Structure 1
């Protein structure tokens, strides 16, 4: 990346595009083919090569867009004020991934750098390599290193959907090796497409091998439909819509709208949104879902964005204050009218893994309608990220100068760039949103998702019927200490997706 400088101000042509995932372009002049790590200064232009070019991209990106930019000394504008000092600074940080991590604020648990932006794009759109078993992990006993896996649900159309494995099943090993806290990542989250789960059962509170093995194969680029279940429950004197939604994906809005059209045609009285396994996703999709649930608040402010001072100034200059306000809407981006239910209350189910856009839906709706929150305290991610690509200018015959993703590397960044508050300005839930009814799932009593006897759904129905039941889990000596799921953590994002006119930042 070639960057032009003026005293105190970097004048490399930063071009910002807010597209499907708010694609942000940072580009300079056309880059030369990548060579070994090097740099040189010619006519006030720094030419970085190799990994140094990527490190330069990392610093310039975070210096402009990172939410905590003014609180991180290494991201201070003074670093780039002197050309030679800046060159020396980048030369000391040749590893872009280590450099990225060293530039993050201590409170930042969510920003990350991705070596291959295609993998990042697939993750955001729900396209992954998967065998279809969505699972969690627990410690098998107190003060031990052994783990037990439990199946949350099976993805339709996956390899697992054709095998003898279902929600609530348990496993203790992979390929004959006992799962432990120090080997589960290697066994379950490596690049191998095939593995065999060694299953166990519970006998008098003890995990016992049952002799059953389930061989599974991951399908590459499996597109996961985040709408796992949608149905109308015809209960005594009432109709209830139930939606189990596992990721906010922008291009699923038309399908969601069709489901809400069915809810509307069935004249449902109440709605249950199940976000227990939803780590977040598209802000735009969240706003659309909120508008489907309601409808009576069209054009009113749903949530407010809080950027760093640099971006606030630039975005205000180019777009005005309205840019920071995300409002309820009446149509999808393709012009289709939203099927709104005009509800005055909604029941939302969560777990300790519900995050980001899931929390945004709860927090955003609370000033407008009654939100009955059932389940566990959520993650506490009140921050949103954007995808940053390194763009360069390239001359194309018969076309002219175009901006293309830098052919010298495939890195992209997903940094936190803003905090989101509801219309009352409330955004203080970094420790999670507390439910109105604190209920945990139990591996002894998982139930069948979508079945009215499934514990959390059953409890929500009892509230709707005005017959609140005392919720008790089956007695168990088995600890419920969860192990953080790396795959679920990677899905716990809130991605801003807006359309706006590109603007230049000098």
Structure 2
């Protein structure tokens, strides 16, 4: 029994190696479902953070190779097997993923994906349990949406002339190309949501097509002079390591302007690179160089990989532009502020005052890593050429220096404030509600009187399906 795992993996490694090549002419032969399933089980057995919670991943689960082969053959696809091995997927592991083309996965982790350049929220039309409308929350720079002059705060009610409903919105809004039919929202002169509120087509439209788009996550920077205080504003939409230099350049701008207070807008930031998160923490501070920023803890198989990320003074061979702050403000939402965004809040909190304004965050403390069908698992250089499957499973838990996890229920804001769909405001503007709340706290002027806290919460929100990569924290 003790030697079965070694024998099993040796046999199936040999099977994978010999079946993907023709001995005579080296013609590549596509991997079979058996081989793909074998890769999935081997990988999850070795790297999965929650291996000990899954009986089918136990080292002594099978008493013979025949039993093992019967087991993996019982799953019709690698996706089916992978999903069967996840630990409480509706509660704990909502984030692991399997991908049939790792080139697309690699591109996505580098910030490149198919996009038309808009992000939006969806709600039921007041008084309806079927009809849906949307509001654009973010327009990406240099995207098809920006070229059409779409704006944050624009409403839409239909796609391709067809009203959005609970039964069609996913198909209509997931298409590669579509025409967005714009609308206007009227509260009919009353401040509260009521059945007489209307969402009416305006007659205007925008034809959008998704293109291969690489997002610079440094979406916007601004330096504001408020009451004689120099306040930096950074809207940062993804911890993408390929743009670490651009992030550092933003802090050079803040340094040059003499910024003494900082607001980091992470409300649409689903996460990304753990190392980039440590860089951001180092840019905010600077006085803790060499001290532990965060820790990663793997399963028993990979415990030698347990890692401490430290505050650092350099990035890609260049000096980090640090602000040496003792306080930072972070803006959040409960849908999209996740993983590496939460890591920054959690890991800075033991060192400086982190004031969170917005909504309860998603609640993801685990990190993932790309796993290939290769001898080293974590490198694609020797990947099985018979297929392009890769896994992005949770492999480690992230804590701060005090070994505190981000709760699965998310981080609670210090100042609770939801975006109002009729008053989204301009990002980076002093009157944008969440930023205005931060500036009021910085200047000690109290909460702005015109902020609407609950408008959006009174509407029943509808959510597009969220992929694991939209709330990702990965190890480079």
Superposed pair shares fold, TM > 0.5:
yes
User: What corresponds to 1:9 in structure 2?
Assistant: 6
Superposition RMSD in Å? 2.5
How far the C-alpha of 1:94 sits from its partner, in A, is: 3.5
| Superposed CA offset, 1:119-156 (max 9, x none) | 11111111111111121212223560222111012111
How far the C-alpha of 1:13 sits from its partner, in A, is: 7.4
User: What corresponds to 1:30 in structure 2?
Assistant: 17
| Superposed CA offset, 1:262-293 (max 9, x none) | 21122111000000100011101000000000
Asked if the contact 1:345/1:370 (under 8 Å) is kept, the reply is: yes
- Which residue, out of 430, 441, 444, partners 1:452? 430
Please say if 1:214 is aligned against 2:206.
Answer: yes
Asked if the contact 1:272/1:346 (under 8 Å) is kept, the reply is: yes
How far the C-alpha of 1:462 sits from its partner, in A, is: 0.9
Q: 2:314 is paired with a residue of what secondary structure?
A: coil
More divergent stretch after superposition (287-296 vs 79-88):
79-88
CA shift in 2, pair 1:403/1:131, >3 Å: closer
Asked if the contact 1:376/1:440 (under 8 Å) is kept, the reply is: yes
**Aligned runs of 1:408-427 on 2, under 5 Å?**
408-427=386-405
How far the C-alpha of 1:7 sits from its partner, in A, is: 3.2
| Superposed CA offset, 1:272-318 (max 9, x none) | 00001000111010000000000111111111212212221x43xxx
- Which residue, out of 339, 364, 368, partners 1:385? 368
Runs of at least 5 residues in structure 2 that lack an aligned partner in the other structure: 23-28, 189-196
Asked if the contact 1:282/1:496 (under 8 Å) is kept, the reply is: yes
Asked if the contact 1:276/1:350 (under 8 Å) is kept, the reply is: yes
More divergent stretch after superposition (274-283 vs 110-119):
110-119
Please say if 1:245 is aligned against 2:236.
Answer: yes
Distance 1:250 1:434 in 2: 27
| Superposed CA offset, 1:307-343 (max 9, x none) | 212221x43xxxxxxx4222111111x2111111110
User: What corresponds to 2:172 in structure 1?
Assistant: 187
How far the C-alpha of 1:417 sits from its partner, in A, is: 1.1
User: What corresponds to 1:98 in structure 2?
Assistant: 80
More divergent stretch after superposition (77-86 vs 91-100):
77-86
CA shift in 2, pair 1:476/1:382, >3 Å: closer
Asked if the contact 1:197/1:214 (under 8 Å) is kept, the reply is: yes
Asked if the contact 1:147/1:179 (under 8 Å) is kept, the reply is: yes
Distance 2:457 2:314 in 1: 49
How far the C-alpha of 1:184 sits from its partner, in A, is: 1.6
- Which residue, out of 56, 67, 70, partners 1:74? 56
Q: 1:253 is paired with a residue of what secondary structure?
A: helix
Please say if 1:290 is aligned against 2:268.
Answer: no
Structure in which a larger fraction of residues adopt strand: 1
User: What corresponds to 2:219 in structure 1?
Assistant: 228
User: What corresponds to 1:51 in structure 2?
Assistant: 33
Asked if the contact 2:170/2:464 (under 8 Å) is kept, the reply is: no
More divergent stretch after superposition (142-151 vs 444-453):
142-151
Q: 2:446 is paired with a residue of what secondary structure?
A: coil
User: What corresponds to 2:46 in structure 1?
Assistant: 64
Please say if 1:442 is aligned against 2:420.
Answer: yes
Greater RCO (CA < 8 Å, at least 6 residues apart): 1
User: What corresponds to 1:376 in structure 2?
Assistant: 359
Asked if the contact 2:299/2:395 (under 8 Å) is kept, the reply is: yes
Distance 2:454 2:401 in 1: 43
Asked if the contact 2:75/2:81 (under 8 Å) is kept, the reply is: yes
Distance 1:411 1:144 in 2: 40
Q: 2:126 is paired with a residue of what secondary structure?
A: coil
Please say if 1:327 is aligned against 2:310.
Answer: yes
Distance 2:15 2:216 in 1: 39
Asked if the contact 1:27/1:392 (under 8 Å) is kept, the reply is: no
Runs of at least 5 residues in structure 1 that lack an aligned partner in the other structure: 15-25, 36-46, 316-322, 394-401, 498-506
More divergent stretch after superposition (417-426 vs 356-365):
417-426
How many residue pairs match? The answer is 451
User: What corresponds to 1:124 in structure 2?
Assistant: 109
Q: 2:95 is paired with a residue of what secondary structure?
A: coil
Distance 1:78 1:141 in 2: 56
Distance 2:312 2:456 in 1: 49
How far the C-alpha of 1:375 sits from its partner, in A, is: 0.3
User: What corresponds to 1:490 in structure 2?
Assistant: 469
Distance 1:30 1:105 in 2: 30
Please say if 1:111 is aligned against 2:96.
Answer: yes
Distance 1:338 1:433 in 2: 28
How far the C-alpha of 1:167 sits from its partner, in A, is: 0.5
| Superposed CA offset, 1:28-81 (max 9, x none) | 87343489xxxxxxxxxxx99511111000000100111110110111111355
Asked if the contact 1:279/1:488 (under 8 Å) is kept, the reply is: no
How far the C-alpha of 1:11 sits from its partner, in A, is: 7.3
